[in-house]
Structure 1
């Protein structure tokens, strides 16, 4: 990359960039130039195809939409973004925004270091036990005085797909796989705040999340929240934390927020025999 390179390692996920930097990138790239590269050129360099770019053109802020979707890809790093801008000869953007970008990366790394530091403990404090009352005794087998109940996967589904969830329970829990699934209607005790409990289960109690995709899923606010929350915990899908599943044909478009993840498809007769084996293996990973 040409120009002065900061000593700070910029190979960090794109989520390190704050709103201010993204807004300024939009101010630069949203304007179509006859000479300088704009957002379309950058999107093409990021790997988006013609139809995707045409769809982004309908957005009020196409640069913002492109950055948001690109962030879900494993190659989406701050260093890669700067490399693309350099390749497209947008030195003006690099010179203006580099100091802010470097500062965003520095803060991002500081926050990561703080999160990785072990908490200060005293003998009577047990970090395995949830500290707030609303997070204690939230599932059927929870022991309020002991360790919380843990699961292999949280199942994100809407009520119309519950029959398939029953089949999932039979195939993954009651067979040789012996997986432990978190099914909200079966495992969660009533009376608690739905959003608080859901975030607690997805983030702290479940290793992964299976998303049952259907037309009805696309209309569910609860499924939308659960999916976006899980994605925020694993930017770029680095930990394979979220696994989309399709079990019946759809008339609506597959959710764009998940299109960069490998799908487990039950609707294809030629691969249906491998469906449960693949899904069980993915959920059994450390």
Structure 2
């Protein structure tokens, strides 16, 4: 998730006084999140549990009742809060724990949290450091390397939408191409297996395309999607570019019935549902209109 961190503030502070209000919640690794669940998941007559934390995060009663059915409600609450709220920082989480009288959690987990924050900030610093190159070498490298079949280094190929899908759903992606590219809508879709040149790092290419080359991203949701590491990365990366879905950048699509729960990280977005016979006639029109909106 993308946030601006003032490194001067962070690096000038002592180990016990990190500027955590500037650090996004994504800095916390899974091990810390699971430990939070061990403290907050059990219902306790004396100490506050995950429900009290969710209320402080402004989740509604119905949302909290839905979280209750999860095996790890604390983890679900953290993921949803992180996806929808730009104020979801490590510092704010610690403040909430103090507000609900769970100082014991803060004391026990603070060393692990500080370590995660330090690793996160170090990774940001490394990304921000420019490569050591002399001007002569730099001038020989194209500023816009070709990523797709029709790319031009002087004018990178742009798309209306990046299609996030797993291989088992490729038949539906073909139908999407016919309905959106080869009809009056004339939209331009980025389909990885069709448009991307082979030979480069998958994560690097998809990040570049989603962030800089595509106005929006269509996520084809299915049971198989939930098991795909590539789809998980693409979805979370796109969400990080538009916290709270303010720019309507992500459009979830369901085209067949599912046996697994809908991904909680997308639950707050409006879904384009192809499984309802009564609305199928409007499905492609709604999707095309959403993709045609100005960025």
TM-score by length of 2: 0.68
1:210 and 2:222 matched: no
Partner of 2:250: 243
Paired position in structure 2 for 1:114: 126
Structure-to-structure mapping, 1:123-272, within 5 angstroms: 123-125=136-138, 126=141, 128=143, 139-142=148-151, 146=153, 150-152=157-159, 153-157=161-165, 158-161=169-172, 162-170=174-182, 174=186, 180-188=188-196, 192=198, 198-207=202-211, 208=214, 210-213=217-220, 217-220=222-225, 224-234=228-238, 236-238=240-242, 243-246=250-253, 250=257, 254-263=262-271, 267=279
Gaps of 5+ in 1: 131-136
* C-alpha contact (below 8 Å) 1:154/1:182 kept by paired residues: yes
Alpha-carbon distance in 1 for matches of 2:18, 2:77: 28
Once the two structures are TM-superposed, the CA of residue 90 in structure 1 deviates from its matched residue by 0.7
Q: Post-superposition shift, 1:197?
A: 5.6
Q: Give the Cα–Cα distance (whole angstroms) in 1 for the partners of residues 193 and 181 of structure 2.
A: 13
CA contact 1:71–1:235 (8 Å) conserved in 2: no
Shift of 1:11: 3.3
Q: Using a 3 Å threshold, how does the CA distance of structure 1 residues 246 and 238 change in structure 2: closer, same or farther?
A: closer
Query: 3-state SS of the aligned residue for 1:124?
Result: helix
Return the offset for 1:35: 0.6
Structure 2 SS opposite 1:108: helix
Q: Unaligned regions of 5+ residues in structure 2, if any?
A: 1-15
| In 1, Cα distance between equivalents of 2:282 and 2:144 | 46
* Residue pair 1:10, 1:79 contacting (<8 A) in 2 also: yes
Q: Which moved more, 1:83-92 or 1:197-206?
A: 197-206
Once the two structures are superposed, the pairs formed by residues 60-79 of structure 1 within 5 Å of their partners are 61-74=72-85, 75-79=87-91
Residue of structure 1 in register with 2:38 after alignment: 27
Pairing 1:71-110 to 2, within 5 Å after superposition: 71-74=82-85, 75-110=87-122
Which residue matches 2:56? 45
CA shift for structure 1 position 8:
1.2
Residue 291 of structure 2 is aligned to residue 279 of structure 1: yes
Q: d(CA) in 1 for partners of 2:209 and 2:283? A: 31
Are the equivalent residues in 2 in contact too, given 1:142–1:149 (CA < 8 A)? yes
Q: Name the count of aligned residue pairs.
A: 257
Which structure's residues are more often helix, by fraction? 2
- Alpha-carbon separation, structure 1, partners of 2:123 and 2:262: 34
Match of 1:244, SS state, is: strand
Distance 1:34 1:53, change over 3 A: same
For the residue of structure 2 that corresponds to 1:89, the secondary structure is: coil
The answer for the alignment partner of 1:55 in structure 2 is 69
TM-score normalised by structure 1 residue count: 0.70
Q: Is the CA contact (8 Å cut-off) linking 1:42 and 1:84 kept in structure 2?
A: yes
